[in-house]
Every structure is written in C-alpha cells, then in structure tokens.
C-alpha cells in the first residue's frame, strides 16, 4: 500500500488504475473503466488535490446482488483542504464517499445511485414496525449504521453540485458540517433521506430535486412515513437557507427537530432556518414538520399531505405567503407561541388552521419543565380561505390576533434567476407513491402492482411504467387472466389455480423489458388459541374464553370457545386491537398456533417478525427462540422440502403488537432496517 502511495506521489503524469486501499496524495486522473473494489477504501489525503474519475465506475458488489449486501466504503477523504472529487460513478457500497475534517471540499458531476439499502417488510395492507427509522442520535456516528451515498463529517466549506443519488437509503448526510452549498443535485427515490443535517448550520440547499424519499406508505391503506424525509434537519441545525427545491412525495417534505439537547434542557433549537419557495407537496405525513424551534416558512407550495405545516411547540415562527391546498390540515401547531400565520392561501384543506394545547404533556420530557409551553400569542392576518370545512380551530389558546397588519416579507437571498425545479412526477398526487420491498418505485421501468389488497381473489394488478404496450410472456399456477396484451396503465385480473397452493407467477413484457408478479404463500391451516396472563412464569395461564367469559367476539379469529381453526396466516399488527380481537387486552396476552405445511423441492426459510417475543418449533424441534422481549425484529430458520409440522408461541407484553410468520423461498437473511424502531 505504501508503494502505491509513493508511486502516485512521484509519477503525476497519465491516468491511474484504482486498487483497493490505494492512497492518493496528489491530483490524478483515473482510467475510465469499471472497477470491482471491495474491502479497503480508496483514501484521499493531503491538500489541493483533484481526483478526476473521468466517468470511471466503482462497484462494491455485483450489480445483481440484493442491495442490502453492500458492506464497504468506496472513498475516504481524510482531512485536508481544497479537495475535489469529480465525474465518479459509485454503486454497491454501504457508504459511497466519506469525508472527515476536510476544508473546502468539492463533489461534482458524480452518480452515487444504487448503494446500500435495507429490505422493507411493510405489506400493501399494513406496515411493519421493523421499517421505522430513527435519526435522533448521532453523537457517536450512529447514522453510519444507515449508510449514505455521501457522508460529510466536520467538513467546513464545501460545494456538492450536479450529483445524482437514486435508489439507496440515504443520499447526502451532513454531520457538524457548516458552510456547505448543495445545489442542482438529484437525490430522489431513496427509502430514507434525500438530505440529512445533524448539528450542521449556515448551509445553503438550493435548486435540487429531492423527491420520493419515502417508505411507510400504501395508498388507501396506511400513511405513516416511518421517519423518512426528503430533507431532515436535526439537533441544533440552524441558520440554513433552503430555497427553490422540489421536496415532494417524501415521508415528510421537510422534517426539522430541535434535538435531544433542547428536549432535555428547554433551550436552543434548530433555529433561524429559512424555507423559501420550495415545493413540499404530497408528503405521506407533513409538508413541513418544524418543532421546538424558531424558523421562517415563506412562499412554499404544500399540497395534498396530511399536514401542510406541523409546527408543534414552534415559537416566533413566521408562516407567510405559502400555498396550502387539499391537506387534511393546512397549519397545525400545538403549544406554539408568538407565531405569525399571514398572507397564505388555504384552498380546500379540511381544516385550514388548527391551534391547541393539551392539558397533559409527556412526563419524560425535560422541555416543559424548563420552558413555557402555553399555546399563546398568534398573529393571523391576510390569509385567503377557499373551500375549507373549518377555517380556524382553536383550543386552550390565548392571545389570537386576527386583525394585525403584517407586511409581506422581503425576498430572501437567492442565486440569480433560478426557478424551482418541477420534475413531472413531482406534480402527481400521492397515489404515485409505490413502495415495494426495496423502497420507492421510480417509474422508469415497467411494474405490476396490486390495485387493492393482495388477498383479493381474483387479484387485480395494474401495469405501471413508461407509456407503451405490453404482452404476456409466461404464466405459472394461473387459471385465468383477463388480458394477454394491452397498454401500460391497464388493470389485469388474475385468478390463481385452485391447486396452485399459493405458488404462482405472471410475467409480462413491455418495450423489451420483462416484469413479473409472483406469490409464494404455501397453504397452512393454522389452529390458534389466545391466552391472558399475569404470571410471568406461565404465559398460557387463562384461555381468552375463561378469562373474559362475557366477551362477544366480532370475528372468528378470537374465540372465546374452542381454538380458532383454519386461519390461513399468522399476521397480526396493531396498537389497539381491531374488530374481531377486542376480547384481548392491550398488554399481557399470548397465543399458541399449530399447523402443517408441505413444500415442493427447493430451498426455504421460516421467517418471523415479532414484537414482543416468539418461539417456533419445526417437527417438535425449536428452531427460533426469540423469547426475551424485544422491539420488532426479524428471525429466520431453514426448512426443507416435504411435509412438516409447525408450532408457534407468541407473547405480547405491552405497546404495539406485531407477529408475522412466513415461509419464503431461498436462504436470505435480510434483517431489515437498523433499529431502534
């Protein structure tokens, strides 16, 4: 490795070929070819260095490998000043570019798409808690467990421009990095964050496409977001300018949180940030979520989300000149103080403005112990309301002035005559958000996707993708198909064969690209019994029928009475028991389930997702033992072809309920997203 460094220091002429662990100490050009480099990263160390990759490609894994198989870091920039990385293609890494302690860094004209991302376990019908993200702590580089295309730590002064990051988990993450200009990039269709800031201030984020950074959404079924966002600002990230960006179709468009420091002390915040002229529409949750802080939210477009602006505990915040349309609530602020809501347009939001304070605040928060949290002193003036069911909903709030004269804000500092980017997909409503097991669908290739529940018979699938025609290529285990050819946008009804035993596949072709939809759900008739327990040594203490003899079941899944027979799947997910399970308490219950399955020749695995505890026996041998209470986690065990008997025990301690038991093809052991969840 030392020899490589010396050679580069002595022979600056001509392009170089990359090798694992190479240390670059002066400006070089790279031979433009594809390099499969796993293991030790390329290290850039020194001052006044330009590395021109000339379009060279670095691959950390086989392009056909699952995205969660990426392990390594491609490039490490170790301190230094005036470092430039240009025209690189970096794919298949846990981290693409990692810079630490660098001054005056330039990253330009590079493609860092298709790097690490975890498998997702939410279904069309309901979410999985395994998919929830948590970016709340990063004092010890906890964010690195999530990976990123670009990770800048303690960088002072940088330009990140004309880069593309699509199809990973996180695009660009800044940690204690100040004076960074992020401009003209496309950080879209990632399953976590487009851009994330932690303790990063005085940065400028302008004229970027940062759309569809999302998970936790299934149209008509659930809209959770699972803490994904197009842009995240956490933990004392202040004085940033965010202007003229497309930030649509994210978990949140903008997700700002003061940070744990503020939550504990009641002081500080992610303050004095300016959000100007952005499009934050069609978020699964909030166009802008800005909490426990003081900011300016000026002249943004916020259409079609649950909340246009969620400003919990915001103070001295100006929400001025924005365009709210079709949100469940335009502006919602709990426990806010001294805020201005002026000169906005509210068009067909169910509720335009909602202000309130709760009588009880969380006892484990330090913030209310050190900070006045009354809801008070609002100036609301000059707003235009059209077609709203409720214009102003105010509760436990004092000092609301609706006649104050408020001048429009001065134009913020922007560059030249830039206009906000407006990519075509950013104009579609939330039905364009399709999230599969690997994240948001980018609409560049054809796809089959369920119109409604995947459990419907016949199953209706819609053809998605670029305009064109499609035709049938192959069928397996399918009795009837409503169409054998047509145009993209068609809906197809699929009727599986009665003897397909939950194993079928449909393959179509459009413009030379084949695309499929398959189902593998081997038939198991589960016999299930539920119990209520109080003694932690006996989790199967009282059957539901004897523990609650007066309960009236509203479905056939919870007796009381004999065990529930013929249940087609073990798949339970709730916080409050749904219809049919209300004989169960919220805490301290358990279940036992048994069934048999016959599998054809092949390689298979039993997969469980559980919160709080699960055990599985295969032919009377325990193969999964996750009996210590835990947050939602994924466990696996191998299962061979042939006939087998299965037994499952599950216990619910408190909080959320999640139990899913599947038999899947292959030996994959995807753990899902890093916790906590």
Residue 414's pLDDT band, with cuts at 50, 70 and 90, is low
A 10 A CB-CB count for 515 gives 18
Say whether both 359 and 393 belong to one domain: yes
Structure token digits, residue 20: 């694992």
Average pLDDT over residues 70-99: 99
Residue 78 has pLDDT above 70, yes or no: yes
Q: Is residue 674 part of a domain?
A: no
Q: At 515, list the tokens.
A: 């695309």
Which strand ranges, in their side-by-side order, compose the sheet holding 301-303? 301-303, 323-325, 345-347, 384-386
Domain boundary among 430, 463, 494: 430
- Pairing of β 526-532 and β 542-543: antiparallel
Give the H or E element holding residue 541.
none
Q: CATH no. for residue 656?
A: 2.60.120.260
Per the CB < 8 A criterion, the answer to whether 293 and 270 are in contact is yes
Establish if 174 belongs to a structural domain.
no
201 close to 221: Cβ distance less than 8 angstroms: no
Q: Could you tell me if 505 and 517 are in contact, meaning their C-beta atoms sit under 8 angstroms apart?
A: yes
What residues contact 158, with CB distance under 8 A and at least 6 apart? Answer: 99, 102, 104, 105, 106, 107, 152, 177, 179, 180, 181
Q: How is 71-85 classified by DSSP, letter by letter?
A: --EEEEEEEEEEEEE
Residues 494 and 420 in one domain: no
Chain segment 256-285, per-residue pLDDT in tens: 999 999 999 999 999 999 999 999 999 999
**Could you tell me which residues come within 8 angstroms of residue 10 by beta carbon, excluding any fewer than 6 positions away?**
none
Q: Is residue 677 part of a domain?
A: no
Same domain, 261 and 294: yes
Beta strands in 311-360 (DSSP E): 318-320, 323-325, 329-334, 337-342, 345-347, 351-356
Q: Which two tokens stand for residue 591?
A: 């279940």
Q: Are residues 155 and 188 in the same domain?
A: no
Contact 187, 210 (CB under 8 A): yes
158 and 192: one domain?
Answer: no
Give the domain range for residue 148: 1-119+143-168
The tokens describing 215, both together, are 């998970």
The two structure tokens encoding residue 559: 């007796």
Q: What is the pLDDT of residue 104?
A: 99
Residue 384: name the closest of 432, 321, 443 by CA.
321
Report yes or no on 436 lying in a domain. Answer: no
Lowest mean pLDDT segment, chosen from 115-124, 169-178, 183-192, 396-405:
396-405
What is the arithmetic mean of pLDDT over 371-392?
96
Query: At a CB cut-off of 8 Å and minimum separation 6, what does 143 contact?
Result: 135, 151, 173, 175, 196, 198
Q: Which residues of 628-664 are buried (b: 16+ CB within 10 A; e: fewer)?
A: eebbbbbbbbebeeeebebbbbbbbbeebbbbbbbbb
- Of 365, 395, 430, the residue at which a domain comes to its end is 430
Dihedral sign from CA coordinates of 352, 357, 363, 364: positive
Tell me the pTM: 0.94
- Pair 63, 92: CB distance under 8 Å: yes
Are residues 539 and 514 part of one domain?
no
Tokens of 122: 């939410």
Question: Are residues 83 and 206 located together in one domain of the fold?
Answer: no
Mean pLDDT of the chain: 94
Q: For position 371, what pLDDT does the model report? A: 86
- The Cα-based distances of 656 to 284, 374, 586, 652 in angstroms read 21, 31, 8, 8
Mean local confidence (pLDDT), 305-314:
98
Is 417 in the same domain as 456? Answer: no
The yes-or-no verdict on residue 41 having pLDDT over 90 is: yes
Asked whether 366 and 388 are in contact (CB, 8 A), the reply is no
Does residue 127 lie within any of the structural domains? no
The predicted pLDDT at position 408 comes to 58
Answer yes or no: do 87 and 15 share one domain.
yes
The answer on 282 and 214 residing in a single domain is yes
User: Does a structural domain hold residue 606?
Assistant: yes
Are residues 256 and 284 located together in one domain of the fold? Answer: yes
> Could you tell me if 394 and 267 lie in one domain?
yes
pLDDT at 625 over 90: yes
Asked, for residue 84, whether it belongs to a domain, the answer is: yes
Boundary-marking domain end, from 369, 398, 430: 430
CATH of the domain at 478: 2.60.40
493 occurs within a structural domain: yes
Tens-digit pLDDT profile for residues 182-231: 999 999 999 999 999 999 999 999 999 999 999 999 999 999 999 999 99
Domain tally for the chain?
4
User: Higher model confidence: residue 501 or residue 456?
Assistant: 456
pLDDT digits (tens, 9 = 90+) for 139-185: 999 999 999 999 999 999 999 999 999 999 999 999 999 999 999 99
Q: Is the pLDDT of residue 559 over 50?
A: no
């Amino acid at each position: 490795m030392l020899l490589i460094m010396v050679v580069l220091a002595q022979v600056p002429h001509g392009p170089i070929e990359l090798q694992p662990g190479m240390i670059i100490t002066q400006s070089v050009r790279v031979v433009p070819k594809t390099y499969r480099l796993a293991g030790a990263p390329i290290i850039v160390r020194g001052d006044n260095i330009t590395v021109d990759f000339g379009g060279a490609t670095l691959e950390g894994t086989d392009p056909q490998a699952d995205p969660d198989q990426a392990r390594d870091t491609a490039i490490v920039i170790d301190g230094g000043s005036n470092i430039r990385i240009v025209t690189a293609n970096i794919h298949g890494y846990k981290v693409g570019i990692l810079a630490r302690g660098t001054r005056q860094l330039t990253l330009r004209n590079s493609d860092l798409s298709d790097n690490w991302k975890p498998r997702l376990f939410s279904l069309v019908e309901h979410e999985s808690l395994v998919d929830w993200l948590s970016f709340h702590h990063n004092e010890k580089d906890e964010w690195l467990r999530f990976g990123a295309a670009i990770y800048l730590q303690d960088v002072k002064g940088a330009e990140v421009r004309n880069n593309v990051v699509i199809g990973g988990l996180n695009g660009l993450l800044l940690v204690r990095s100040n004076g960074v200009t992020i401009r003209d990039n496309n950080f879209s269709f990632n399953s976590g964050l487009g851009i994330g800031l932690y303790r990063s201030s005085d940065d400028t984020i302008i004229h970027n496409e940062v759309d569809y950074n999302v998970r936790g959404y299934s149209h008509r079924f659930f809209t959770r977001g699972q803490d994904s966002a197009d842009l995240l600002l956490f933990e004392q990230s202040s004085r940033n300018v965010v202007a003229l960006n497309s930030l649509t179709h994210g978990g949140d468009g903008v997700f700002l949180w003061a940070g744990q420091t503020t939550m504990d002390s009641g002081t500080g915040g992610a303050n004095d940030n300016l959000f100007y002229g952005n499009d934050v529409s069609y978020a699964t949750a909030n166009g802008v979520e800005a909490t426990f802080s003081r900011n300016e939210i000026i002249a943004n477009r916020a259409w079609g989300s649950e909340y246009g602006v969620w400003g919990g505990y915001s103070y001295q915040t100006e929400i001025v000149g924005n365009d709210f349309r079709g949100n469940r609530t335009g502006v919602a602020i709990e426990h806010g103080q001294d805020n201005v809501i002026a000169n906005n347009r509210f068009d067909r939001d169910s509720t335009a403005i909602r202000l309130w304070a709760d009588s009880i605040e969380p006892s484990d928060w330090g913030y209310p112990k050190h900070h006045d949290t009354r809801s008070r002193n609002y100036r609301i003036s000059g707003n235009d309301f059209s077609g709203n069911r409720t214009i102003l909903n105010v509760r436990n709030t004092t000092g609301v002035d609706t006649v104050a004269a408020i001048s429009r804000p001065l134009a913020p500092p922007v560059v030249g005559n830039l206009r906000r980017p407006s990519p075509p997909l950013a104009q579609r409503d939330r039905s364009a958000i399709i999230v599969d097991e690997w994240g948001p669908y980018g609409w560049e290739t054809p796809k089959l996707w369920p119109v409604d529940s995947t459990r419907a018979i016949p199953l209706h699938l819609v053809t998605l993708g670029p305009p064109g025609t499609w035709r049938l290529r192959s069928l397996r285990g399918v009795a009837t198909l409503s169409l054998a050819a047509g145009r993209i946008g068609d809906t197809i009804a699929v009727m599986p064969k009665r003897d397909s035993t939950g194993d079928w596949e449909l393959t179509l072709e459009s413009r030379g690209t084949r695309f499929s939809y398959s189902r593998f759900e081997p038939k198991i008739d589960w016999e299930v019994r539920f119990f209520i327990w109080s003694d932690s040594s006996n989790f199967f203490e009282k059957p539901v029928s004897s523990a609650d003899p007066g309960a009236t079941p509203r479905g056939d899944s919870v007796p009381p009475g004999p065990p529930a027979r013929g249940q087609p799947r073990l798949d339970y997910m709730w916080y409050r028991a749904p219809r049919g399970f209300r004989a169960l308490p919220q805490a301290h219950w358990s279940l036992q389930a048994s069934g048999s399955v016959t599998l054809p020749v092949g390689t298979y695995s039993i997969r469980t997702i559980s919160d709080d505890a699960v055990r599985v026996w295969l032919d009377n041998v325990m193969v999964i033992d996750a009996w210590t209470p835990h947050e939602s986690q994924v466990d696996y065990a191998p299962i061979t072809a042939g006939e087998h008997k299965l037994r499952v025990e599950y216990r619910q301690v408190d909080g959320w309920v999640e139990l899913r038991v599947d038999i899947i093809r292959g030996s994959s052991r995807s753990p899902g997203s890093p916790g906590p969840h």
